[in-house]
Amino acid sequence: MTETLAPLTLLLAGPRGFCAGVDRAIQIVEQALKKFGAPVYVRHEIVHNRFVVESLEAQGAVFVQELDQVPDDRPVIFSAHGVPKAVPAEAERRQMIYLDATCPLVSKVHLEAERHHAEGLHILLIGHKGHPEVIGTMGQLPAGSVTLVEDRAQAEAIAVPDPARLAYITQTTLSVDDTKDIVAVLESRFPAIQGPRKGDICYATTNRQAAVKAIAEQSQALLVIGAPNSSNSRRLVEVAERSGCARAGLIQRASEIDWAAYADVETLGLSAGASAPEVLVDEVIAAARAHRTVTIREIRVTDETVVFKLPKALAD
């Protein structure tokens, strides 16, 4: 097959893959296992990636949906997406050992929500219904304090208690361009609305979308490695499509790729969501080389140096 098909150029988006928040969350689970021994329980997927979850399970992590599945005498970790306030409150009531792996940039949004609420403002949260981050953010405040806005149409139609007492916050993993459109509608309809001092969409989401834009127009097809329930990964596919690459798709592993379907492709873009480890990128590259003669070009839009500290309980 290598002889009959044209050589393949793989365009790697940079940055791609793990962000600082994901790296910190995984380290929290690994360090907790070293400190407390197995099993250590994790409420929900620590990050949205089955490869990562299964790797941690192999080390002794047990993933559960709710705290009532966790014994009182074992540590529990809250996922990187954040949790409603009721969750740590219940852990404290049961006198459990718990570690919060919420990404610091998600915690920043939680603090913004609390500040706006303390100032008597109703809050519009731009995000996706049912996403764990949205559930966690809305759960920081009393019911009715936050209204979810999912798209431009909702922004154009939403009714608010008092247009003069209003603020907005956003999920951290949204499409940068879509969010700008929604914010523009809200600011046009509600001139007094207050927003974050600095945008809530995190640096990693922003950078990965910029990198995909940089390779999309040059790619005949583009693959994003990430989970179907990963918001930031799904946004990368959308960004690729809107940036000139109609053949964009989401995969979890190299084994999902039908290489025959890409026989006509001579330039293939490749990126990975913020929860996908680089080993999965290497896996796709190896699979490509098994089918084609491959040249790799990386197009890097920026370098990332962000590092988040571990909780004090694990720092020693």
Active site residues: 133
Edge-to-edge strands, sheet with 98-100: 61-64, 40-43, 76-78, 98-100
Q: Is the peptide bond before 39 cis (omega within 30 degrees of 0)?
A: yes
Phi/psi of residue 78, nearest 5 degrees: -95, 140
From 15, 21, 18, select the one nearest 309 (Cα to Cα).
21
Distance in angstroms between the alpha carbons of the first and the last residue of the chain: 54
Q: Which residues contact 2 (CB under 8 A, 6 or more apart)?
A: 291, 292, 293
From 43, 134, 168, select the one nearest 96 (Cα to Cα).
43
- Token digits of residue 277: 């480890």
DSSP state of 293: -
